[in-house]
A and B are shown apart, each in its own frame.
Chain A
């Protein structure tokens, strides 16, 4: 089972909202659409669902063209950020609702609903109304409804965004398992890089209506093909600095020179994630002078926000540190962990230590 998009594009009011894209979404592992608000995630989900029709291109389900097919004739289930349930129906009836249309035998309906309720731990609440439940239980009801439908395509649009942090952690772990077993194609949109990694499937990064990269989450994270992807897939934000390649050396604006990747002479951008910088001397790293702006302690680690030669950078450092704002600091930059993007924004060379997280 798989769903494929072939050269699909969409524009609204004369402006493109989704640039032509070709993508094949397999079943089993989750397919995560990662991008900020307005990057085209929801648009893509709506096209996949058949709620909108692309301006160009085809959508194939199991090789069959379903581009013009109405939503209700497709085997699609969708879960939204808002908890959408039927307020007057009990949780049981809510979960059963997709089966009522299909005129299944009573016993079959009952067994499927109970199975879904068991998986999502809703059994104690089956007789209650959705609005009497907590947000997490309401969303689990909506997810159970998607599960019970046994649709071949399950779409989720930031389903955990309105839930408590801890509950999110729990469901994040369970959702991929639930849907992997069902054999459906599972598409999940999120704005959070950490969520994309935790779901542990494939990630398509979206930026301004384009899919910039598609591949296994860890691979896209470590080897982003361009600057847009690296930006979308960094939390805290990617630390960036303009630089130049000159005489085989990579020279930052501050004058610091580093070994250069094989790039022609010219301007480029270097990017490095917060956890790959250090406030302690590292072997082979170059020191950069910086001024502390703010420090944030998470308990075991500290995020130090710095001004590095006029650029705003964040360093994640182990242990508890609370340097005073205005203090001088030294950031150690390891050239082997650096992402270097050419003038066109493409990744010029894979960092030597990409594999080492």
Chain B
């Protein structure tokens, strides 16, 4: 249980040009649920391995409760880690697998047994405790890996490296909600690395969005959704991601492709660089009247909602086709004015009310 801090932390792999992780400062609360979210190669696994001690940073310090642990080995850092692919010790039973981290640290047998049975119960492994681990399916092997991460009561943090990649969709739901429940019961810092926004947003209290070795935004799921500070966050979070339209801003109005003018919720000073208007598909609705004239290209049926792919003055946009509405012959696009954001060179521009 610890606060985790980073001081001018950065990493460059030997021989590689440039940083894999650019210099950063951050402080994470004790017992928080954090997610590191980004595409492959964004540096999220590098950061995770630095926290666990599998990798030594080339610059800066890692602090656990204010204590510098940068040079401590993984064994001495008191963290648990669950990997992307299930790691089970083949010759051992499920029980022995779960007890392995405890046995290595000399936990008394009775205490270890109680702990193992508790964790097995939480993960639904109780009935398999005496089976050999090697003959179980991928799902159950990954449960064992998770269990070994959770079994120690004294860890500073539990790290998850894309732990649900090999799991079938249905079990993903179960395991994720189990993890959340566990986090409620055991106040330990959990750090979850993933490229899947749904997993990151649903798991974490705070999501750290990374791109090209840089942390672009840290925030709650709703903050990332409602007020992305960077166009990358807007695009990466949400499915489909935020629509971004080239525009010119004149005070409280944006001039869109095709010369359409849209009122903005804030007034902006003159902006330099590439200026874009951002609106999430959830806040852009196809309608029969009002709004802007668009051309409808395609409708995607997602089962529980429909996405209309439209074009506005030659720029593609994703919008919501409201429930029960037939596809209109002359579609119009209505943008929720409160949800419009302006970006200059990728960064959110601060307007004044």
Instruction: State the A residues within 8 Å of B (CB).
Output: 36-37, 134-135, 162, 164-167, 169, 191-194, 197-198, 200, 217-218, 221-222, 231, 235-237, 273, 275, 293-294, 296-300, 303, 305, 314, 316, 320, 325, 355-357
Contacts and interface: CB of A to CB of B under 8 A. Distances in A.
B39 A36 contact: no
A165 B202 contact: no
Interface string B222-261: 1011100000000111111100000000000000000000
A166 B221 contact: no
A351 to B, nearest CB: 14
B141 to A, nearest CB: 13
B169 A191 contact: yes
17 contacts: A134-B41, A165-B195, A165-B196, A197-B303, A200-B300, A236-B173, A237-B170, A275-B304, A293-B177, A294-B184, A296-B177, A298-B225, A299-B201, A299-B222, A320-B221, A357-B305, A357-B323
Given A36-B168, A296-B202, A300-B225, A314 B173 contact: yes
Contact of A37 (B168, B173, B198, B203): B168
A299 B304 contact: no
A36 B300 contact: no
Nearest to B225: A299
Q: How large is the interface on B (under 10, 10 to 19, 20 to 34, 35 or more residues)?
A: 35 or more
Identify the 5 closest CB pairs spanning chains A and B, nearest first: A299-B225, A296-B202, A275-B304, A164-B195, A294-B180
Contacts of A297: 201-202, 220-222
Contacts of A303: 202
B170 A134 contact: no
B323 A356 contact: yes
Interface centre among B41, B168, B196, B235 (most CB of A within 10 A): B168
Contacts of B177: 293-294, 296, 305
Contacts of B280: 300
Contacts of B304: 273, 275, 316, 357
Nearest to B183: A294
A296 B176 contact: yes
Nearest to B237: A299
Interface string B289-308: 00000000000111111100
A194 B201 contact: no
A164 B302 contact: no
A299 B40 contact: no
A314 B169 CA distance: 14
A169 B54 CA distance: 32
